[in-house]
Amino acid sequence: MNENMPTDDTQPSVGSTDKKSNLLAILGIVAVVAIVAFVMIQASSNNTAPTEEIVSPTPASTEVMEEETPTPTEEEVMEPVEEVVEIDVEAGNFSFSPNEITVKLGQTVRINLTAADLQHNFSLDEFDVSSEIVAEGESTTVEFLADQTGEFEFYCNVGSHRAQGQVGTLIIEE
């Protein structure tokens, strides 16, 4: 009879120890799972880090492509545009020879004027050209850019030479 009494008292105490051990077991499992999960996350994060470093050098190759692009050659194309046309003109009494001059648009025209007698000059109003007056046997030079097409009258501005017919025609063609 006495043996049963303590057994009855022990039973609930045994039951409580079982609950405690169950709790400890659950806590242990949770702890192990947490540790395993932590290790796996760290391992996977360590694997991703070097992968990003391998991807990064790709933009560096595009920078090399940009350095190869500079190729400006437009200035070389602009150079041959400058062209000078020299024309010898003789000024007489009262005329020019030749009295008709033809050039092309964009050309620079250089007039070499020589006086055969008296005093003469070469004037071309539309291009602000008025040479110095040259005496018999002397020469002078004037230059202008033929920057518009058409027919323009050149003349001698000495005395009444223009009125007496000392004129000519400059033709600028495209």
| Region 9-28 residues binding Cu ion, contact defined as CB under 5 A | none
Of 107 and 121, the one with the shorter C-beta distance to Cu ion is 121
Of 107 and 123, the one with the shorter C-beta distance to Cu ion is 123
Least Å distance, CB 160 to Cu ion, is 9
* Binding segment (CB under 5 A) for Cu ion, from list 58-66, 80-88, 122-130, 161-169: 161-169
Least Å distance, CB 92 to Cu ion, is 8
Three-class SS of the chain: CCCHHHHHHHHHHHHHHHHHHHHHHHHHHHHHHHHHHHHHHHHHHHHHHHHHHHHCHHHHHHHHHHHCCCCCCHHHHHHHHCCEEEEEEEECCCCEECCEEEEECCCEEEEEEEECCCEECCEEHHHCEECCCEECCCEEEEEEECCCCEEEEEECCCCCCCCCCCEEEEEEEC
Q: How far apart are CA 18 and CA 24, in angstroms?
A: 10
Least Å distance, CB 100 to Cu ion, is 17
Least Å distance, CB 159 to Cu ion, is 7
How many residues form the binding site for Cu ion (CB under 5 A)? 5
| Region 97-136 residues binding Cu ion, contact defined as CB under 5 A | 120
Of 107 and 131, the one with the shorter C-beta distance to Cu ion is 131
Residue 156 within binding range of Cu ion, rule CB under 5 A: yes
Residue 158 within binding range of Cu ion, rule CB under 5 A: yes
110: phi then psi, degrees, rounded to nearest 5: -115, 115
Closest CB to Cu ion: residue number? 156
Are the beta carbons of 142 and 117 closer than 8 angstroms? no
Least Å distance, CB 96 to Cu ion, is 9
Residue 89 within binding range of Cu ion, rule CB under 5 A: no
Residues that bind Cu ion (CB under 5 A): 120, 156, 158, 161, 166
